[in-house]
Amino acid sequence: MNPRDSILKKLSSINSLQKTPAARTQDRQIYQDYPEETKDELIARFKKQFLALAGEFFPVSSYEKAGAHIFELLKSVDSTKHLVELNPLCQKIFSACPELEAKFENIENKTLAATDFADYATGLTGADFLVARTGSIVLRTNSAGGRRLSVLPPLHIVVATVAQLVPSLDAALQNRGFREGDWSYGTIITGPSRTSDIEKILVLGAHGPKRLALILLDE
Amino acid sequence: MNTYAKFMREAKSMAGNEIHRAKIKKAITSYEIQVDGMKKQQFQDWNAAREVAAGIKNEVLANLPEMLQEFEEKLTSRGATVLWAENAEQARHYIEEIISRHNARKVVKSKSMTTEEIELNEYLESRGIENWESDLGELIVQLADEKPYHIVTPAMHKSKQEIARLFVEKLGIEYTENAEELTMAARAHLRRAFVTADIGITGANFIIAEEGAIVMTENEGNGRLGMACPKVHIAIAGIEKMLPRLADLSLFLPLLTTSGTGQQLTGYNSIVRGPKSAAEPDGPEEMIVILLDNGRSNIYAQDHFREVLRCIRCGACLNACPVFRSVGGHTYATTYQGPVGSIITPQLRGMAAWQHLAHACSLCGACTEVCPVGIDLHPLLLETRWQADKEHAASKKWQFAIKMWSKIIPSRKVIDTFRPLMKIFLPLAKPFLSANQKKRIPTMAKKSFAQMWENNESTR
């Protein structure tokens, strides 16, 4: 018998198992109870969590202002090589700030080996959801230009709109759209890369991005 | 030396090691402050959360064969391969086959206890494969040629001075005790390995039946890099890592992280549904998930022990355990240490060689109190002793002692007969009575309690 059938047969041969009904998560109040929050309260909650995680937060009200913040962020790194996944939101920001477009190379027009990423200081991506309760950014490969762009460059800039903000992780994972699409990889990002493996001392920038910046557009 | 004698020797030496004690106290105190705060910040009702989590895991156990097949079907439909391994040897064999098929020379590994379980590092080394541990804690123990000290915090036992000396020797850096500089040295050391490795090997914290996905929890980004750069991704997951639905993560991720490190969520929680799809610019061309049994189905077959398969490997019971804190993680000489390790190791690796671990427990119940999936850990440790006795797995000496004890203790008369002898016998029995011979054996009173009771004497 092959190992698969042998394992399944062993597991299926137990007679004493009780077939319990599906457990439900909604039976009891588990999480810290927050009353239904308005848009501004959600933004405030997200901001508080995100800043506590050492994220860099820039709320903006126009594409021009978004572009200006990205410009400032690029100035803060000592390299001129930057990559972008040119999603519709980035495109609108670039249209509003034409001088910004020239700063970035579009990842779609390039075939980059993993080793080529060493030159790039910045990865600019979109996001799928922002989670207020935990200050998290949810990405899937189709919104993030693949798996490497959001993890290899030392500075990760995310552009998102307030419409993408959801109260909890549950709301993001249960969203109808989340499971759809031809994506192979999704990640819930909560702050820049970190470690406390040495005497429990927190250090940012272990292997992933050392800095995480979010431009949040409220039109 | 057998496993028991080795345990006793190590335990004696570690329990008296004050330097070790100070390091562990420092790490666990900082952990406890974080965890207590996060439980209150994140959860309205921690116990309700534990109950719901236990309920979901029970649902998994009741439907495990069906869920495993659903997982396989969904994941395979997106182009990944699922392989089933009954034991460590089969799992290693699969990996060897993949390595030789791709003619691979370099592997980058993220932290995974299942790879420790199948002794993958030793195996890859013996085959001359370059093997890079990429989690900082794992890198430290790999460079020091040690095993992980703790399932979540592999280098908990190392001070920054020790790590600094290790990095000076092995990575050739300037001596520094600054944790940030040491971390950056590790970052630089591994950077090239990530982008040039042929194969990325990871574990999985959860596997999702409904979605056909594996989920990986981490803080550093080394797991993400290992799944983003090499052209092949191998994930090794115990069959009990199952969750029914993707949405269950909204409970299990905060639960695992709060118990494991006291964070709200770890930095990165990745959901992987297959190799790179046609529309994606990068990612592995091949993804293989190895489902590992390696004795888990034996635990599954036993009504009393099945619930221990709910374990999500958060490490909370290790941190809470007074025995773990004094004897330390390496003394166990197992992949999984502490209370949960003392239950599953005899089941996974044989009762006769490992049942002594269930005796390294005062049944205080601190582990049961902190377990986020409500496993009755200390009753299961007692159950393990009972099973060992039933199977005559304990040493002859122990079995004889228990037999005599069970004859003497039920009868008042026999106890009274033996009492004068005990005064002589007790000091002689000292080596058998205490793991740490520094402990003092109390002197016996002149009269027994029963005698005083009969004479209506006051003890004052």
Residue pLDDT, tens place only, B164-222: 999 999 999 999 999 999 999 999 999 999 999 999 999 999 999 999 999 999 999 99
| Distance in angstroms (rounded) separating the CA atoms of residues A127 and A121 | 19
Per-residue pLDDT at A19: 61
B122 shares a domain with B241: yes
Nearest to A177 by CA among A164, A195, A196: A164
Quick one: B19 and B109 in the same domain?
no
Q: Are residues B230 and B275 in the same domain?
A: yes
Same domain, B63 and B125: yes
Residue B140 structural domain: 43-294
> How much is the pLDDT for A69?
97
Position B408 scores a pLDDT of 82
Q: What does the pLDDT read at residue B301?
A: 95
Residues B388 and B409 in one domain: no
More confident residue, B333 or B433: B333
Choosing among A50, A147, A170, which should be mutated to test the B contact, i.e. which has the most B CBs within 10 A?
A: A147
Last residue of a domain, one of B378, B394, B410: B394
What average pLDDT does the segment A57-69 reach?
97
Note whether residue B35 is domain-resident: no
CB contact under 8 A, A30 and B266: no
Q: Which of A82-91, B371-380, B431-440 has the lowest mean pLDDT?
A: B431-440
Of the candidates B254, B270, B280, the beta carbon closest to that of A187 is on B270
**Parallel, antiparallel, or unpaired: how do β-strands A56-60 and A211-217 relate?**
parallel
CB interface of B with A, residues 168-187, below 8 Å = 179-180, 182-184, 186-187
**Residue B450's pLDDT band (boundaries 50, 70, 90)?**
confident
Nearest residue in chain A measured CA to CA from B280: A146
Please report where in the chains the tokens 């927190």 appear, as a residue. Answer: A202
Between residues B433 and A97, which one has the greater pLDDT?
A: A97
A211 touches chain B (CB under 8 A): no
Chain A residues in contact with B55 by the CB 8 A cut-off are 20, 23-24
CATH number at residue B157: 3.40.50.10420
B153 reaches A (C-beta below 8 A) = yes
Q: Tens digit of pLDDT for each residue in A114-172?
A: 999 988 999 999 999 999 999 999 999 888 889 999 999 999 999 999 999 999 999 99
Q: Does residue A205 surpass a pLDDT of 70?
A: yes
Same domain, B229 and B153: yes
pTM score of the predicted model: 0.93
In a domain, B262, yes or no: yes
pLDDT of residue B407: 84
Residue B300 lies in a domain: no
Looking at residue B413, its pLDDT comes to 83
Residue B151 and residue B60 share a domain: yes
Q: Tell me whether residue B69 is in a domain.
A: yes
Alpha-carbon separation of residue A21 from A170, B59, B442 (angstroms): 21, 7, 54
Tell me what percent of chain B is helix, strand and coil, each rounded to the nearest 5. Answer: 55, 10, 30
pLDDT digits (tens, 9 = 90+) for B192-208: 999 999 999 999 999 99
pLDDT score at B397? 83
pLDDT, tens only, A106-118: 998 888 999 999 8
Size of interface A-B (CB pairs under 8 A): 270
Residues B374 and B433 in one domain: no
Is residue A4 within 8 angstroms of chain B, CB to CB? yes
- Give start and end residues of each alpha helix (H) in B129-245: 136-143, 160-171, 179-196, 222-228
Q: Is residue B239 part of a domain?
A: yes
Would residue B428 count as lying in a domain? yes
All structural domains of chain A, each given as residue ranges with its CATH number in brackets, are 37-217 (3.40.50.10420)
**First and final C-alpha spacing in chain B:** 49
- Based on the fold, state whether residues B317 and B435 are members of the same structural domain: no
pLDDT digits (tens, 9 = 90+) for B325-356: 999 999 999 999 999 999 999 999 999 999 99
Residue B257 scores a pLDDT above 60: yes
